[in-house]
């Protein structure tokens, strides 16, 4: 589904190159739930941006559903991003003046879906996250955990092949974080592939796979007898 072969990313400022990612090797299968951890400045955000087609790599090959991303122009990447990827952000990114129904409706309007289909999807996914009874409320009338659930419903409404979640529990207390994580696990069990950046090792450990990024390099961790072991570094 998602394959990165020797992906590198460098930023050049005043003739000085900063290497954010170095020769990343990764394959994500359909139905995977992959957590991504690492210290601040390790390259996690750059990695997620490249995976989500928000940035391009400096070198290497990135295949998404077998399509070589390097061969796509800006409009082609935008088309693929809109068709295949859903995003969940730490800050929720809800529009404060729109109620929950209309917030979830925003990406569907860009898809050009008719009103009946949009309504069906919005009601289904708000019910899926337990907020169907509050669809006429504004974001300010919800708790942080509830707002993140709306953001998840919005991401799911476009039927993405996979979700990219950037610190989805970062602004939540521990109880709400566990609730959102349980929801993501349920979504994954239903078939959606998830790639999640998190700073919380206990949440990362609940994913099916864990990768660790440090100094632009990726290592995969495996859980054997409840102990984490490095199994390889690209």
Average pLDDT, the chain: 90
Number of domains in the chain: 1
Strands 16-28 vs 33-37: parallel, antiparallel or unpaired: unpaired
Residue 63: beta bridge partners? 3, 68
CB neighbours of 75 closer than 8 A, spacing ≥ 6? none
Domain that holds residue 31: 2-233
CB neighbours of 17 closer than 8 A, spacing ≥ 6? 10, 11
Determine the pLDDT at residue 223.
56
79-107, pLDDT tens digit by residue?
Answer: 999 889 999 988 899 999 999 999 999 99
Stretches in the chain below the pLDDT threshold 50: 224-234
Determine the pLDDT at residue 230.
42
CATH classification of the domain holding 155: 3.40.50.300
158-187, pLDDT tens digit by residue?
Answer: 999 999 999 998 888 888 899 899 999 999
């Amino acid at each position: 589904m998602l394959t990165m072969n020797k992906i590198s990313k460098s930023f050049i400022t005043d003739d000085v190159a900063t290497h954010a990612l170095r020769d990343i090797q990764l394959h994500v299968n359909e139905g995977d739930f992959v957590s991504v951890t690492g210290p601040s400045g390790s390259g996690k955000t750059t990695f997620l941006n490249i995976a989500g087609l928000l940035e391009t790599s400096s070198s290497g090959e990135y295949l998404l559903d077998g399509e070589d991303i390097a061969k796509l122009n800006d409009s082609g990447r935008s088309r693929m991003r809109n068709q295949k990827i859903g995003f969940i952000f730490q800050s929720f990114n809800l529009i404060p003046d729109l109620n929950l129904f209309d917030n979830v409706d925003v990406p569907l309007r860009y898809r050009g879906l008719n009103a009946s289909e949009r309504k069906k999807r919005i009601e289904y996914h708000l019910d899926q996250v337990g907020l169907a009874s509050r669809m006429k409320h504004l974001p300010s009338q919800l708790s942080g955990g509830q707002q993140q659930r709306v953001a998840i419903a919005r991401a799911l409404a476009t039927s993405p092949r996979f979700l990219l979640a950037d610190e989805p529990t970062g602004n939540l207390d521990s109880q709400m974080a566990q609730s959102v994580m349980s929801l993501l696990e349920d979504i994954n069990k239903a078939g959606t592939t998830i790639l999640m950046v998190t700073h919380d090792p206990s949440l990362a450990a609940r994913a099916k796979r864990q990768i660790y990024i440090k100094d632009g390099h990726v290592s995969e961790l495996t859980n054997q007898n409840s102990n984490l072991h490095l199994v390889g570094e690209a």
